[in-house]
């Protein structure tokens, strides 16, 4: 029997009005948004009404975390409990919170601090990111070394690797990739995430995590750093995660090998759903964004568990 997996969206998936239908329909969603609003005023307004403010890391991460976690809890309230989970970058924190690795509101506090630390690191050392298409990871790595100042940071799917680093080097990448049959697309992000540019953020998070109580997840949560389920080293992985590549393709391949057959993306957008279908077209994947897709996910999950 195939397992159900929850995958939690990362930064970049956010959009104005995301989750409004789910907020209106489900007490679990409203409850978490209202709780987080007390800790950080403006969370609800930014998510549902002020899409322009979601461009900032400071706002995007708390809003997307709240939506992802509350959607997952709403699904669980409908009887859909995943066997495994994973998240992309920020989404990994959401997955750990869903799996009760954080105590109560500590996950939200950590996300707010993580957003601030990454924002500050981006101001200290400005950088950018680009998605390189139609090239193998090895060729992308070689091109980064040749140009200099660039780092492969997201191994997303076959033919898609994201690179981060120096803005001028990214311009050179855009010129050089077509010579090897590829294409480099600039990403609208505020920093060179998951690269050495984020070292100041890693140092800040290391100090912060020392005051939190972290528990083993109640279900396997696959980490970006290793593409394997978390052990007891939760804090160290969360620190290393912000300066290390996201091994997304390997993560999904390992989850499928472990029995995952239906992936339900919680958060915003369909980015992870699209990547999963590129990684393995044989598995089912659906993104929950509104009532229609929520009901579709519930139906698919019940069919999967009953198969």
Query: Regarding beta strands 260-266 and 128-133, do their DSSP bridges make them parallel or antiparallel, or are they unpaired?
Result: unpaired
Closest CA to 284 of 271, 293, 273: 273
Q: Which of 68, 83, 89, 195 is catalytic?
A: 89
> CA–CA separation, 28 vs 64, rounded Å?
15
Tokens coding 74: 């709403």
Tokens coding 103: 């105590």
- How many CA atoms are closer than 13 Å to the CA of 4, on its beta-carbon side? 23
Closest CA to 94 of 111, 77, 76: 111
Active site residue 36: no
Q: For 23-88, what is the HEC assignment?
A: HHHCHHHHHHHHHHHHHCCCHHHHHHCCHHHHHCHHHHHHHHHHHHHHHHHHHHHCCCCCCEEEEC
Q: Which of 68, 119, 194, 293 is catalytic?
A: 194
Residue with tokens 């897709």: 293
Active site residue 39: no
- Which residues, in sequence order, are CB contacts of 226 under 8 Å at separation 6+? 237, 247
Helices (H), 125-198: 137-147, 167-176
Judge whether 239 and 110 are in contact, CB under 8 Å.
no
- Can you point out the beta strands (E) in 91-204? 128-133, 150-157, 160-165, 183-186
Active site residues: 89, 194
């Amino acid at each position: 029997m195939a397992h159900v997996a929850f995958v939690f969206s990362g930064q970049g998936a956010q959009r104005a009005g995301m989750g409004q239908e789910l907020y209106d329909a489900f007490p679990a969603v409203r409850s978490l948004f209202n709780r987080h609003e007390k800790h950080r005023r403006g969370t609800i307004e930014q998510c549902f009404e002020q899409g322009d403010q979601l461009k900032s890391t400071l706002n995007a991460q708390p809003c997307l975390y709240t939506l992802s976690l509350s959607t997952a809890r709403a699904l669980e309230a409908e009887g859909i409990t995943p066997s495994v989970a994973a998240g992309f970058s920020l989404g990994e924190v959401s997955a750990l919170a869903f799996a009760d690795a954080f105590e109560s509101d500590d996950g939200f506090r950590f996300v707010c601090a993580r957003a601030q630390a990454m924002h500050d690191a981006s101001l200290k050392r400005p950088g950018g990111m680009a998605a390189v298409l139609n090239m193998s990871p090895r060729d992308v790595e070689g091109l980064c070394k040749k140009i200099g100042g660039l780092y492969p940071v997201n191994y997303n799917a076959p033919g898609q690797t994201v690179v981060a680093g120096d803005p001028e080097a990214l311009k050179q990448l855009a010129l050089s990739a077509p010579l090897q049959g590829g294409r480099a697309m600039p990403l609208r992000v505020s920093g060179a995430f998951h690269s050495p540019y984020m070292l100041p953020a890693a140092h800040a998070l290391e100090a912060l995590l020392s005051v939190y109580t972290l528990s083993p997840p109640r279900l396997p949560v696959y980490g970006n750093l290793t593409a394997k389920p978390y052990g007891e080293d939760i804090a160290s992985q969360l620190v290393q995660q912000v300066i290390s590549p996201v091994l997304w393709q390997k993560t999904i391949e390992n989850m499928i090998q472990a029995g995952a057959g239906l992936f339900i993306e919680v958060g915003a957008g369909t980015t992870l759903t699209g990547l999963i279908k590129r990684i393995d077209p044989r598995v089912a994947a659906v993104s929950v964004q509104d009532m229609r897709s929520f009901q579709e996910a519930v139906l698919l999950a019940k069919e999967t568990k009953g198969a």
